[in-house]
Amino acid sequence: MTTDTTITAGIAVDGVRRAFGEVQAVRQVTLRAHAGRVTGLVGPNGSGKTTLLLMLASLLAPDAGSIRIDGVDPVAEPQQARARIGWMPDALGAWGTLTSRETLVFTARLYGMPKPEASVRADELLHRVGLAELADAPARVLSRGQKQRLGLARALVHDPRVLLLDEPASGLDPQARIDLRVLLRRLAAEGRTILVSSHILSELEEVVDDAVFLVAGSTVDPARVEAASRRTRPWRVRVAGVEASVAVERVASALALSPEALSTDRRDVVVSFESEDAAAAALRSLVAAGVDVVEFAAAQGALERTFLHLGEGTPPQAAASRDHGADESEATS
């Protein structure tokens, strides 16, 4: 993931901290999310992601540090900041008796939109998020995934320049997740700043331009992230017509490795390489040796690999617990 400082920073955070009593939910966060790009917010439970998003949305004030949303301080000028922000929390929090259309019309009216314009905007967004057929269904009957779609539509109702999305893919079916990725890319192409928090790293991998890692309430130093991203990466090798227990000998021989240096996972042989160039060279060696390779792919995405390596071989949850005591509860994550 890259960060280009020449691109406008739609979200700028410097030295932000926030505690709840003795629990330091956000210890030290500095980040930039740029206009026209999708930035992923990655971290284990208790790392401070939701608390940070609440501060960005002007729903919590930081104890220290500064925040700018499209150049506006959400503490000093919350109404101006909220006019620029589309906020989608993890849970919809809708009025159960209102229909999907009524929810969007009411939200638009709260932003000062005239009723006829609000109705047009509601219908447009219901089609955009695939809820047109449920426009007149009360929110209480919607599934988890349908509520997520309504939450996204509600966040977009006033055409914001900055989107804050907390677990937007939670509960979505596979097609809806694809549709969400396409929509987020389109919104970014329109010049919006999009910050997405998600535990589904494979989904983030498909959509983000940049990533910010949080561990134990602090953003991880970019140099440490870069070092973690360059660590060895496991690759899956599948050989036609043979089980992995047999294929491992052929793969090891072709790569001049000891079979003990390889592992198996169901039908695949798993081999670690230090770079994509090394993986490409290994594939050439396998083909040259006459090994019938039918699948050769990274076993982990770049985000997942970096996420795990930041914990130095252990999940970041364990690293955070080791360094800072028990993780904060999910309520202050």
Report strand pairing: 233-239 vs 293-298.
antiparallel
Query: Comparing C-alpha atoms, which of 251, 263, 261 is closest to residue 294?
Result: 251
Burial label for 21, CB within 10 Å (0-12, 13-18, 19+), is exposed
Q: Which CATH superfamily is domain 228-302 in?
A: Sporulation related repeat (3.30.70.1070)
Residue 1 has pLDDT above 50, yes or no: no
Q: Rounded CA gap, 136 and 159, in Å?
A: 23
User: pTM above the 0.85 mark?
Assistant: no
Query: What integer is the mean pLDDT of 5-29?
Result: 86
Q: What is the pLDDT of residue 333?
A: 42
Tokens of 221: 């130093």
Q: Rounded CA gap, 26 and 39, in Å?
A: 19
Residue 293 has pLDDT above 80, yes or no: yes
Torsion-angle region of residue 93: left (phi > 0), alpha (psi -120 to 50) or beta? left
Query: What integer is the mean pLDDT of 274-298?
Result: 93
Residue 161 has pLDDT above 60, yes or no: yes
Q: Rounded CA gap, 57 and 86, in Å?
A: 8
**Model confidence over 240-264: pLDDT tens digits?**
999 998 999 999 999 999 999 899 9
Residues 6+ apart with CB under 8 A from 4: 34
**Model confidence over 98-145: pLDDT tens digits?**
999 999 999 999 999 999 999 999 999 999 999 999 999 998 899 888
Residue 74 has pLDDT above 90, yes or no: yes
Residue 286 has pLDDT above 90, yes or no: yes
Weakest-pLDDT range from 2-11, 66-75, 135-144, 220-229 = 2-11
**Mean pLDDT, rounded, of the chain:** 86
Query: Comparing C-alpha atoms, which of 332, 333, 310 is closest to residue 323?
Result: 310
User: 229 vs 60, 83, 130, 279, 301, CA distance in Å?
Assistant: 33, 37, 36, 15, 10
Query: What integer is the mean pLDDT of 160-178?
Result: 88
Query: What integer is the mean pLDDT of 265-288?
Result: 92
Confidence of residue 232 (pLDDT cuts 50, 70, 90): confident
Q: What is the pLDDT of residue 29?
A: 95
Of 308 and 75, more confident:
75
Q: Rounded CA gap, 71 and 299, in Å?
A: 40
**Domain-wise residue ranges, the chain:** 9-220, 228-302
Cβ-based neighbour number of residue 98 at 10 Å: 16
Q: What is the pLDDT of residue 234?
A: 87
Query: What integer is the mean pLDDT of 142-170?
Result: 92
Q: Rounded CA gap, 84 and 256, in Å?
A: 58
Q: Rounded CA gap, 263 and 235, in Å?
A: 10
CATH number of the structural domain 9-220 = 3.40.50.300
Q: Which of 24-38, 40-54, 175-189 has the highest mean pLDDT?
A: 24-38
